[in-house]
Structure 1
Amino acid sequence: MTAQLTKEKRTILPPVRTSKANLQDYDKTINEFSWDDALNELAKAPAGQWNAAYECIDRHADEGYGEKTALLFTDGDREEGYSFSEVKQITDNYARVLLKNGVKKGDRVFIFLPKSPDCYFTILAAIKVGAIAGPLFEAFMEDAVKDRMTDCEAQYLITDAALGKRVPYEEIPSLIKTWDISELQQEAESLPEDDSPVVWVDKEDGMLIHYTSGSTGKPKGVLHAHRAIPHQYITGKWVLDIQEDDVYWCTSHPGWVTGSVYGVFAPWLNRATVVIHGGRFDAEQWYELIEKFKVSVWYSAPTAFRMLMSQGVAYKNYDLSSLRHILSVGEPLNPEVIYWTYEKFGVRIHDTWWMTETGGHLIVNLPSQPIKPGSMGRAFPGIEVGILDENNDPLPRGETGKLAVKAPWPGLMKEIWKNEAKYRSYFTDNGWYISGDTAYQDDDGYVFFNGRDDDLIKTSGERVGPFEVESKLIEHPAVAEAGVIGKPDPVRGEIIKAFVTLREGYSETPDLVEEIRVFVKTELAAHAAPKEIEILNELPKTKISGKILRRVLKDREIKKLRQEKGASGQ
């Protein structure tokens, strides 16, 4: 049954089907919760034996849930299913191969695989032996792979025949050994299944590294320690609202932090059946997957929901009645999308806010609480949110300022890889973590996003640093200078637009513009390729340093969009 909305109800959405929500009383929980409560719900970690892979998989088999379905996979051509016992056996076998080949605690093992069961299994196998797993997004090209692996001196790599062609092995001197996934499987089958390969580590030992783009400089390595798992567990229980019979689908690839923390760790820490879809976005395939696997909890990005909304009534061809809880992350969620989903599916979309650096949800909309469309929600229990002024002092409710969180908390990054100064730059002298977002908080504690205080581009839920794209653009022989911005877009949130000047001897033609765009797509990544390229005679710069003024470029673009809307009568 779909929910009916009147104009009077469009400013707030009441909870839907809350009788079984894991967290019922937000106010009571905020006052009584401690992070030790979350830690004590794990198996070995409370006694000082930390291993995220054990807590995700092995403990469920040990506690009698080995036959429960852990994973369902489809790529449109084939389907696979695995129980927790089977996942334990596979990850144990892969872990034994790693140990045999010298992988030890703290080593960096990178995984460059498509969204597939083995991508998930190898991440867990690396962590099982105490190594640091470094998942790479399957669309990364050579430079993106090289930058990340060389920065943290990666020692091991697991890939496949297709993606392995994008790895510049000779330019990664730290690399000791690479496995094609088929070779890893064969080696695993040849080893005896002897003692458990689990390596117990300290809570501060690293387990996961993700690279995140900034507005200047190369991507930075955000390292998370095993101490993050109580944060991942409890947000999986209360925000994802994972329950015993849930089938859970996160659409993100583990190469992005959402795809690892909320695609691998949080759902499996809560013993969910996890779904993997190996194909690209396709509305019909997505709806078919929900119907086929009876997905009950679904986590995706605003861009995906906007694209589904643009497909109109396609959802009517499928039975989506299994859906009880939907969540969103990656960029601000349009109120219109929330209303559409509520009216058509009878289920609200719950926006969530966190960052690669924070390791888990910080500001959330819970299933048992009202939603104010346009708000990212309220502080998760154990989290203190502040809106700060220029002096880093808290502002009164209703005033816009820097969105900050009182540090520390368990999921907070351990370090920026070999960059202590950058790590320290996130924190104020009075103990706040500065997010880089601006926002305000209303009298009920709901936080509303205002904007970014840097130039970071969020396109289709992906974070792209303009400097990385600009650097690639000027490698093209025709490009002299480049400035890159995020241009507002109704579907993707933002698209990447590049402004370039040409070197002497080159003239603007449609073929040259397309050649430049394809150059970035093939050399860096498809999601980083500019959707639009505009050629200028010169770029706006600061008078003293000559730094390109992205802000001026963006202001011009926004002004142009307003004029176009005005001319069309919108």
Structure 2
Amino acid sequence: MTMDKEHHHSEDRTSPADAWADARAMIDAPDGSINIAYEAIDRHVEQGHGEDIAMLWLGKTGSRLPFTYADLADASGRLANVLAAHGLTKGDSVFALMGRVPELYVTALGTLKAGMIFTPLFSAFGPEPIQTRMEIGSANVLVTTAELYKRKIAGWRDQIPSLRLVLILGDDAPEGCVALGPAMAAASPSFQTVRTGPEDPALIHFTSGTTGKPKGAVHVHNAVVYHAFSGRYALDLTPGTIYWCTADPGWVTGTSYGIIAPLVNRVTMIVDEAEFDLDRWYSTVQNEKVEVWYSAPTAIRMMMRSGADAAAPYDFSSIRFLASVGEPLNPEAVIWSEKVFGQPFHDNWWQTETGGIMIANRPGMTVRPGSMGQPMPGIEAGIVERGEQGLAELGSGQVGELALRPGWPSMMRAYLHEQARYDKCFVDGWYLSGDLALRDADGYFWFVGRADDLIKTSGHLIGPFEVESALIEHPAVAEAGVIGIPDETAGEIVKAYVTLNPGYDPDAQLERELRGHARKKLGPAVAPREVIFRKTLPKTRSGKIMRRLLKARELGLPEGDISTLESDES
């Protein structure tokens, strides 16, 4: 299926050196310093594009606020001055916890402008995931709302000694916090962007591990080189393009391609405060004349489920490119979108750790429904397996681990405080992704599955350990094992198996109570949808719960190697 106008040829075998030289030519790094906020905002204003619309914000209740590049330059300058006035300096750590409101985008840009490190948190997280991430990231500043502060932060704020300042949106703040409204109004909009070097940390994104705590992936200012490049070549972002990335900045897509790549490429980005609503989404595409739309398979499957008739009243003629990321996009969705929108969704693949799109169905490529596409220019990808002699690269059609040659600009530079865990990702000159895939004879890559236990639900990556830990905190629960179960809409849903402490009865009331407990601790995106009571859980002799076995039994799959299994009764 060849669909769109020919922009860039798919058989692009650009060498990395040539690719990064092309990419660097897209940005303006004066005197060897490089700062994401300068590339995203200030240089456009300096070049006479200050009145271009940078962001069109759509409020839940129907408000529609445009922000020019000059507006964002002023607001981010004020925010940087507020941080500086409180004694914060280059390298300090700023966390943001709020919905998709304009202040979130201003906080991201102002933090980077001040040479500080920006970490977005998903506002639906419960108190524990927030506290864990702020501890690991040694948060110095939190920007949030009064309501989120009271509900999720106030109870444990004093347990984070690094936290020096809490800024609260609006004109009033609880005791011990600072109201952002008056502070911004009193601050000067002019701020000399802090000189940051290519390797200075800029962003920390947390990703769940299969065991232990979430990992904080560190990205540097030089990543903007790849954000600019991939935004142009994978998503067709050009100056003036009306672009809508539906991802929340609490997840890496919503920052890399919901803030940085679009602004660096001088587009007009749509930001919708509301959650998914079919008619609202279709109306937005029609009324705002969206040209490039980047979304997730969960949302696309929800659109499909509503049928072509629901889409029929709307005019989608403005769309020139559709892209999807988050988990593999089923072939039916690609074919369906071509019928309904006149364009196929172009799937692509990348990770929190890669910082940007690595493999893509790019504009002008022939889309193979179900494939994640081909490596981007400058990216060398392979399928490898571990052998006695180290890593061996596999031929076409063979399933192995998807690996990349390190060195692209947006590659993570560390996992915070976890050097050994970081080093394990790099073997024999490859970055190992932990994803299983195969490459066909024509160089298209196809996702097969996770090499570990991570659960992907509605585009969110969930580590079972985090959910199990929360369940075990309930007095009734002795042990918990958590797995993902395939689900047509969400990709996977979280399902928990628990054994109970003596004196508790496995009944419907307790099941509801445990789900409520998990929702309160973790937030609805992460909590299990179902809790199953068991006398025992399958475990290895060393005491590790075998989630793989739980999943195999749940889905009627082969149980595989159970040589390390303790005897169990399910």
- Alignment check: 8 A CA contact 2:406 2:430 kept: yes
- Are 1:67 and 1:85, in contact at CA under 8 Å, matched by a contact in 2? yes
The reply on whether 1:370 has 2:358 as its aligned counterpart is: no
C-alpha deviation, 1:317, in angstroms: 2.2
Quote the residue 2:87 is aligned against: 102
* Alignment partner, residue 136 of structure 2: 151
Please tell me whether the aligned partners of residues 76 and 189 of structure 2 are also in contact (alpha carbons under 8 angstroms): no
For residue 412 of structure 2, what is the amino acid of its counterpart? M
Match of 1:567 in 2: none
Aligned to 1:126, which of 91, 111, 123? 111
In the alignment, is the contact (CA less than 8 A) between 2:240 and 2:266 conserved in 1?
A: no
- Code of the residue aligned with 1:400 in structure 2: it is V
> 1:324 and 1:76 mapped to 2: Cα distance?
26
TM-score, length-scaled by structure 2: 0.93
2:10·2:362 contact (CA, 8 Å) conserved in 1?
Answer: no
Corresponding position of 1:73: 57
Q: 1:123 and 1:538, CA in 2 relative to 1: closer, same or farther beyond 3 A?
A: same
Match of 1:41 among 23, 26, 37: 26
Q: Which of 270, 274, 286 matches 1:279? A: 274
1:403·1:438 contact (CA, 8 Å) conserved in 2? Answer: yes
2:386 aligned partner: 390
- How far the C-alpha of 1:24 sits from its partner, in A, is 4.1
> RMSD over aligned Cα, in angstroms?
1.5
Task: Identify the match of residue 323 of structure 2 among 321, 327, 331.
Answer: 327
Structure 1 counterpart SS, 2:392: coil
Distance in 2 separating the partners of 1:381 and 1:189: 45
Q: How does 1:17-36 map to 2 (within 5 A)?
A: 17-18=5-6, 21=7, 23-24=8-9, 26-27=11-12, 29=14, 33-36=18-21
Unpaired stretches in structure 1, ≥5 consecutive residues: 1-12, 562-570
Q: Is the 8 A contact 1:438 1:449 kept in 2?
A: yes
Q: What do residues 477-536 of structure 1 show as CA deviations (whole Å, max 9, x unaligned)?
A: 111110000111111111101011111111122221111111111111211111121111
1:81 alignment partner, SS class: strand
| 1:225 paired to 2:217 | no
Letter in 2 for 1:362: M
Shift of 1:25: 6.0
Alignment of 1:364-513 (within 5 A): 364-391=360-387, 392-428=391-427, 430-513=428-511
- Secondary structure in 2 aligned to 1:239? helix
Judge conservation of contact 1:94–1:185 (CA < 8 Å) in 2.
no
- Secondary structure at the aligned position of 2:67 is classed as strand
- Give secondary structure in 1 for the equivalent of 2:436: strand
- Tell me the CA shift for residue 192 of structure 1: 3.6
Picking from 195, 204, 207, the partner of 2:202 is 207
Q: Deviations over 1:82-113 (max 9, x none)?
A: 11111111111111111111121111011111
Deviations 1:37-79, CA, capped at 9 Å, x for gaps: 211221125x312110010011111111111111111123122
State whether structure 2 residue 260 is matched by structure 1 residue 265.
Answer: yes
SS in 1 for 2:525: helix
CA-CA distance at 1:191 after TM superposition? 2.5
Q: Which residue of 1 aligns with 2:158?
A: 170
Q: Which amino acid aligns with 1:306?
A: R
Contact 2:14 2:378 in 1 (8 A): no
Pick from 213, 238, 248 the counterpart of residue 233 of structure 2: 238
1:548 corresponds in structure 2 to 545
The DSSP-based 3-state class of the residue aligned with 1:356 is: coil
2:423 is matched by which residue type in structure 1? R
Counterpart in 2 of 1:3?
none
> Could you say if the C-alpha distance between residues 145 and 418 of structure 1 is closer, same or farther in structure 2, counting changes exceeding 3 Å?
same
Aligned counterpart, 2:563: none
Q: Deviations along 1:147-193, whole A, 9 cap, x unmatched?
A: 00011211111111111121131221110111102222311211344
- Stretches of structure 2 that go unaligned for 5 or more consecutive residues are 171-178, 559-570
Give CA deviations for 1:213-269 in whole Å, capped at 9, x if unaligned: 011011011110011111110000011101233111111111100000010001111
Moved over 6 A (4+): none
Q: CA deviation at 1:28?
A: 5.9
In the other structure, the counterpart of 2:127 is: 142
> What one-letter code is carried by the residue in structure 2 that aligns with 1:414?
R
Judging changes above 3 Å, is the alpha-carbon distance between structure 1 residues 290 and 41 closer, same or farther for their aligned structure 2 residues? same
Question: How far apart, in 2, do the equivalents of 1:89 and 1:44 lie?
Answer: 21
Seq. identity, %: 44
Preserved contact between residue 301 and residue 461 of structure 1 (Cα < 8 Å): yes
3-state DSSP class of the match of 1:311?
Answer: helix
Paired AA for residue 32 in structure 2: G
Say whether 1:51 aligns with 2:35: yes
Q: Please tell me whether the aligned partners of residues 217 and 467 of structure 1 are also in contact (alpha carbons under 8 angstroms).
A: yes
Kindly indicate whether the alpha-carbon contact (under 8 Å) linking 2:209 and 2:454 is maintained by their aligned counterparts in 1.
yes
Work out whether 1:347 is the aligned partner of 2:347: no
1:91 aligns with 2:76: yes
**1: distance between equivalents of 2:296 and 2:471?**
28
Residues 75, 189 of structure 2: 8 Å contact kept: no
Structure 2 CA distance, aligned partners of 1:203 and 1:555? 46
**C-alpha distance in structure 2 between counterparts of 1:107 and 1:74, whole Å:** 31
